[in-house]
Amino acid sequence: MSAAPTGNSHARSVIRAPLRTGKPETGCVVLSAGASSRMGRHKALLPMPDGRSFLSQIIFQYRRAGVQCIAVVLHPGIPLESIPIDPVVTVVVNHAASAGRLGSLRLGLAALPGVDHCFVHNIDNPFVDPATIEHLHAVRDRAASITPCHQERGGHPILLGPAAIDLIAERTETDLPLRDVLALLPRHRVEVQDARILANVNTPQDHAHWFGTATADEHA
C-alpha cells in the first residue's frame, strides 16, 4: 500500500484513491481526524451491534444510497489496516488534525475533485440512513448547503453544493467553525423524522446510551 503525492506531505497523505469517471458526482467526506480524547479510543473503530465499526457502517450506508465517491480523513493514530478496503473510498491521513475541523474538510474535498455536491459526515454519528441521504440529495439545488433537522434542531450530515465547496477551498482558516463559513451563503433546512441525525457519540457514556451497557473500553 503506497501513498500518492498530494501536495503538502506534512499535512496529509492519500493512501488509497478510487478511479474517477470525470463527470460531476455527489460525494461524501467522513471526518475522523480528531484525537477522540473523551472516548479514549478512536471513534472510527468503535463497534456497532452487528460488529461493524462506525466507519464501516457509515461507508456501507452511503454506498447503499448510491454515493460512489467517499473520502475518509483520518487521525494519524488510526491503524490503516483497520480501515475497510473499498474501491470507492479515498483515505487521507491528516497529520495536522489539531489545526481544526475545517482543515480536515478541505483535505477531504480536495481528494474528491470530481464531485459537485458533497455530504459532510462526522464519525461520531454512525446512524446515517439512506432515506435521509436521498431526501437531502433530492433538494440539493435549493441552496449552497442543505441541513437535516429534527424538531427544528439541526443535525448531520450536511450536504454541500458547488458554491459551498468552492468557498471552503478558498478559505485559509483551519479553526473557523463550518457553520460560520456556511452562514456566508444561502442555506436550506429539511425536516426529517429520524432523531438520530442529532446523535453525537463522544464519550463511553454516549456509547452506552445509544448501544446499551457496552462501553468503548469493553471492546478495546
Could you tell me the mean pLDDT of each successive run of 10 residues in the chain, 220 residues long?
A: 34 43 77 74 85 93 94 90 86 85 93 94 92 94 96 93 96 85 96 87 82 51
Predicted confidence at residue 31, as pLDDT, reads 95
Assess if residue 80 is contained within a domain: yes
Q: Is 4 within the bounds of a domain? A: no
Within a domain: 93: yes
Residue located via cell numbers 460512489: 68
Range of the domain at 199: 12-219
pTM above 0.85, yes or no: no
Q: So what's the pLDDT on residue 38? A: 64
Domain presence at residue 6? no
Residue 24: what pLDDT? Answer: 58
Domain count within the chain? 1
All three cell numbers of 186, joined, read 444561502
Nearest to 17 by CA among 98, 89, 115: 89
Residue 119: inside a domain: yes
Query: Do residues 203 and 215 make contact, with C-beta atoms less than 8 angstroms apart?
Result: no
Are 52 and 61 in contact, with CB atoms under 8 Å apart?
A: no
The residue with cell 488510526 is 78
